[in-house]
Amino acid sequence: MLRMTGISKSFGSVRANRDIELVVPAQRIVGLLGENGSGKTTLMNILFGMVRPDAGRIEFDGRRLEGHTPREALAAGIGMIHQHFMLVPAMTVTENVMLGWAETGRWLHPVAVAARIREASMAYGLDLAPGSVVGSLSLGAQQRVEIIKAILRGARLLVLDEPTSSLSPPEVSGLLDVLRRLRAEGRSVIFISHKLGEILDVCDEVVVLRDGEVTGRAEVAGVGRQDLARMMVERDVTAPLERVIRQPGHERLVVNELTVRDAGGIMRLRGLSFSVRAGEVLALAGVDGNGQAELADVIAGLARPESGHVFVDGADVTWGGVAARLAAGLGHVPADRATEGLVREMTVAENLALRDFDRPPLRRGPWLDGSAIRARAVERMAEYDIRAGDDESLVATLSGGNQQKIVLARELGRRPTVLLAVQPTRGLDPGATRFVIERVLALREAGAAVLYISTELEEALGVGDRIGVLHAGRLVGVMPRAGADVTRIGLMMAGVLDEAPGAEALYGTSPA
Amino acid sequence: MSARPLAMSLLAVVLAFAASALLIAAAGKNPLVAYGALLQGSLGSADRIAVALNKATPYLLTGVGVALCFRARIINIGGEGQIALGGLAATWVALRFPQAPAVVLPALALGAGALAGALWAGLAAVIRLRRGVHEVLVTLLLNFVGVLIVSEALQGDLGELGAGFPQSPLFARSAWLPRLIPNTDLHLGIVLAAAAVIVAHIVLWRTPFGFRVRILGASVPAAAYVGISPARTFLSVMLLAGGLAGAAGAVEVLGVHYRLIEGFATGFGFNAVAIALLAALNPMAVLPAGLFFGFLETGALAMQRAVGVPSPLVAVIQGLTMVFVLSAMGLTAGRERV
Amino acid sequence: MADALVEFLAAAVRIATPLLFAALGGILSERAGVFAVGLEGMMLAGAFAGVVATYGTGMAAVGILASIAGGMMLAAVVAVATTRFRADQMVTGLAVNILAIGLTSFLLRGLGARGEAPTIRVTTLPPLAVPWLGDLPFVGPVLFRQPALTYAAVALTVVMFVFLVRTRPGLTLRAVGENPTAVFAVGGDPVRVRVTAVVAGGALAGLAGAVLSLQQVGTFTDGMTHGRGYLALAAIIVGRWMPGGALVGCLVFGAADALQLRVQAIRLPVSSYVIQMLPYIVSLAVLAGLGRSARLPAAIGAPFVRERR
Q: Which residues does chain B have within 8 Å of residue A370's beta carbon, measured at their own beta carbons? A: 206
Q: Which of C94, C107, C226, C236 is the best residue to mutate to test the B interface, defined by the most B CB atoms within 10 Å of its own CB?
A: C94
Q: Are B240 and B115 in contact (CB under 8 A)?
A: no
Helix axes B283-307, B268-278, angle to 10 degrees: 120
For residue B309, give the chain C residue with the closest CA. Answer: C115
Interface test with C, best of B9, B303, B313 (most C CBs within 10 A): B313
Taking the Cβ of residue B47 and every Cβ of chain C, the question of whether any pair is shorter than 8 Å is answered with no
Beta carbons of B334 and A345 less than 8 Å apart? yes
In this complex, is the C-beta atom of B222 within 8 Å of any C-beta atom belonging to chain A? yes
**A12-26, A294-308, A447-461, B302-316, range with greatest mean pLDDT:** A294-308
Of C85, C108, C283, the CB nearest to B141: C283
B326 to C91: CB separation less than 8 angstroms, yes or no: yes
Average pLDDT, integer, range A138-155: 86
Contact B215 A347 (CB under 8 A): no
The rounded distance, in Å, linking the Cα atoms of A350 and B219 is 14
Q: Which residues of C touch B319 (CB under 8 A)?
A: 95-103
Query: How many Å lie between the alpha carbon of A328 and the closest alpha carbon of chain C?
Result: 35
In the prediction, which pLDDT does B68 show? 95
pTM of the model: 0.83
Q: How many CB atoms lie within 10 A of CB A450?
A: 27
Q: Say which of C92, C104, C274 has its CB closest to residue B326.
A: C92
Establish if B332 touches chain A: CB-CB under 8 angstroms: no
B221 → closest Cβ in A339, A345, A368? A339
C-alpha of A25 from chain center: 30
Nearest to A339 among B208, B211, B219 (CB): B219
What is the reported pLDDT for A47? 87
Q: Check residue A416 and give its pLDDT.
A: 93
Chain A residues within 8 angstroms (CB to CB) of chain B: 300-302, 321-323, 326, 332, 334, 336, 339-347, 350, 354-355, 357-358, 363, 366-368, 370, 394, 396
Q: What is the DSSP string of chain C?
A: -HHHHHHHHHHHHHHHHHHHHHHHHHHHHHHTT---TTHHHHHHHHHHHHHHHHHHHS-HHHHHHHHHHHHHHHHHHHHIIIIIS---HHHHHHHHHHHHHHHHHHHHHHHSGGGPPP----PPPPEEEPTTGGGSTTHHHHHSEEEHHHHHHHHHHHHHHHHHHHBHHHHHHHHHHH-HHHHHHTT--HHHHHHHHHHHHHHHHHHHHHIIIIIIISS--TTTTTTHHHHHHHHHHHTTT-HHHHHHHHHHHHHHHHHHHHHHHHT-SS-HHHHHHHHHHHHHHHHHHHGGG----TTTTSPP-PPP-
Confidence of residue A16 (pLDDT cuts 50, 70, 90): confident
HSE-up of A328 (CA within 13 Å, CB side)? 27
Which of A77-86, A283-292, A343-352 shows the lowest mean pLDDT across its residues? A77-86
Q: Check CB contact of B224 with chain A, cutoff 8 Å.
A: yes
Per-residue model confidence (pLDDT) at position B112 = 95
The alpha carbon dihedral of A216, A222, A227, A228 has a sign of: positive
Q: pLDDT tier at C73 (50, 70, 90 boundaries)?
A: very high
Side chain identity at A54, as an amino acid letter? D
DSSP SS3 for A421: strand
**A484 Cβ neighbours under 8 A, 6+ residues apart:** A461, A467
Please answer yes or no on whether B148 and C274 come within 8 Å at the CB atom: yes
- Mean pLDDT of all residues in C79-97: 90
Rounded average pLDDT over A462-482:
88
Q: What percent of chain A has pLDDT over 90?
A: 24
The tens digit of pLDDT for each residue in C227-251 reads 899 889 888 988 889 999 999 999 9
Instruction: Give pLDDT tens digits for B160-200.
Output: 776 778 888 888 888 888 888 887 888 889 999 999 999 99
At residue A511, does pLDDT exceed 60? Answer: no
Whether B319 sits inside 8 A of C99 (CB atoms) is: yes
Is the backbone of residue A428 left (phi > 0), alpha (psi -120 to 50) or beta? beta
Chain C partners within 8 Å of B142 (Cβ): 280, 284
> Pairing state of beta strands A267-277 and A466-471?
unpaired
Residues 6+ apart with CB under 8 A from A429: A401
Under an 8 A CB cutoff, do B138 and C98 touch? no
Nearest CB to A345: which of B207, B208, B337? B337
pLDDT at C293: 59
Chain B touching partners, 3 or more CB pairs below 8 A: A, C
CB pairs under 8 A between B and C: 158
Closest CA in chain B for residue C100: B316
Tens digit of each residue's pLDDT (9 = 90 or more) over C161-173: 999 998 989 999 9
The minimal CB distance from B208 to the residues A321, A346, A363 is found for A363
On average, the pLDDT of chain A sits at 85
- Contacts of residue A360, defined as CB under 8 A and 6 or more positions apart, other chains included, come to none
Q: How close A344 comes to chain C (CA, Å)? A: 21
Residue to substitute from B201, B203, B219, interface A, most A β-carbons within 10 A? B219
Measured between beta carbons, the chain B residues lying within 8 angstroms of C304 are: none
Question: Do B276 and B150 meet the contact criterion of CB atoms below 8 Å apart?
Answer: no
Choose the mutation target among C163, C166, C181, C186 for the interface with A, i.e. most A CBs under 10 Å: C186
Q: Which of C92, C102, C230 sits opposite B316 (nearest CB)?
A: C102
pLDDT classification of A385: cutoffs 50, 70, 90 = confident
Region A395-417: mean pLDDT is 88
Query: In this predicted structure, what is the pLDDT of residue A512?
Result: 43
Instruction: Sort out which chain B residues have CB atoms less than 8 A from A341's CB and list them.
Output: 222, 225
- Which has more confidence, B123 or C257? B123
3-state secondary structure of A60: strand
User: What is the bridge-based pairing of β-strands A205-210 and A449-453?
Assistant: unpaired
Whether residues A346 and B338 touch (CB distance < 8 A) is answered with yes
ipTM, interface predicted TM-score of the complex: 0.84
A357 with B334: Cβ contact below 8 A: no
φ, ψ of residue C126 in degrees (nearest 5) = -80, 155
B330 touches chain A (CB under 8 A): no
